Amino acid sequence: MMVGGAEETLKRVEPVFGAIAKRWFHLGPNGAGQSVKLAMNMLLALEVDALAEALALTRAAGIPGERVIEVMQSSMGRAPVLDVKAPMLLQRNYAPSFPLRLMHKDLALAMDLARELGVNLPAGSAAERVYANVLSSAREDLDYAAIGRYWEKSSG
């Protein structure tokens, strides 16, 4: 759990945090936990977007996605998010475990925060636009791994 707030306040509620989370992090003043959560979700969104792009590229080259994932999971490309999202992308099964609409919301909030802080996030901005495109064409509630649909269409 990521939290922000005054240290003396957090010390009083530490037993509650311990009961609801295996680990919690005091990250600074009020709002710091939310900022880190948005940054973390942006990173996850970018990782899944990059994976979907990589699969589109390698599929176009005639390489089975399963082989690509096998290499990635055995290399520096390894990321725990791939354990959950790679099977969804390979099977084109996007039943929501973390809905696309919520990931898009968090990306939009991260971009709002970046603008407010004067931070340029070109990859985050590009991902937010792609996720918005996928969300606008979705007919049902999908997992954010449905970003794979965008790159499949884009790569033919």
Within 8 A by CB and 6+ apart from 54, the residues are 68, 72
- The token pair that represents 111 in the structure block: 């971009």
Domains present along the chain, CATH in parentheses: 1-30 (no CATH), 34-154 (1.10.1040.10)
Q: What is the pLDDT along the chain (156 residues), one digit of tens a residue?
A: 999 999 999 999 999 998 999 999 999 999 999 999 999 999 999 999 999 999 999 999 999 999 999 999 999 989 999 999 999 999 999 999 999 999 999 999 999 999 999 999 999 999 999 999 999 998 899 999 999 988 888 776
Q: Is the whole-model pTM more than 0.85?
A: yes
pLDDT at 156: 63
How far apart are the C-alpha atoms of 93 and 48, rounded to whole Å?
14
User: According to the model, what pLDDT value does residue 152 have?
Assistant: 82
